[in-house]
Amino acid sequence: MAGPNDLYPVSNGKEISLRDELGLTFSGSDIEVAKAQTCLVRVMRRDSVGKKIICECVHPITHEPDRDRLCLICLGEGFKWDEGFNQIYKALRAPREIMNSPGLINVPLMLFYMRHNTSITKDDKIIELALDSDGLPVQPYTRKEVWRIYYLEQMRLDNGRLEYLKIHTFREDVKHLNG
């Protein structure tokens, strides 16, 4: 009869590497299909003191971007940014109902998982791309959804080593997705 320790082989007394497991989830292996999808990560540009760089379309009095006309620099974001491709694993989180003064509002929440070496902060955004039937980004690239980060979890194991990032987001309503 097998004991509980025989079911999970242990090497050198350490836990399994979640970095490796996430890598296999993203890229696939002999026994599983790749589950990662390509997205854009919108990283806000910062000045020498770490403040976000404001776009020229921002009104000097109201400090708000012009959301009616499309600014080709920031797409209505109000800050300058750079976008780069990244791999994510997306998982729907149950919608959270929020009681607001006008009434009950359903907020679609989404979890994204990213590799441990991804450079992302709470001020950045995840841009979901339109995908074809094979899961590849449609050419030319088309932005589909903008996800604002409200909580960024660093998942750690084995002596505090960073294994992966778990990113809690909600969908942001934007007028101009593609420039």
Q: 147-173, pLDDT tens digit by residue?
A: 999 999 999 887 788 889 999 998 888
4 in any annotated domain = no
Q: Is residue 2 part of a domain?
A: no
Q: What per-residue confidence (pLDDT) applies to 77?
A: 87
Enclosing domain of residue 125: 14-172
Rounded distance, CA 147 to CA 36, Å?
17
Residue 3 lies in a domain: no
Residue 1 lies in a domain: no
pLDDT tens track for 4-51: 555 545 555 556 778 888 888 888 888 888 888 999 999 999 999 999
Residue position matching structure tokens 């101009």: 176
Confirm whether 6 is domain-assigned: no
Residues 105 and 97 sit within 8 Å (Cβ to Cβ): yes
What mean pLDDT comes out for the span 96-100? 54
Per the domain annotation, does 178 fall within a domain?
Answer: no
Q: Is residue 32 part of a domain?
A: yes
35 part of a folded domain: yes
Domains: count for the chain: 1
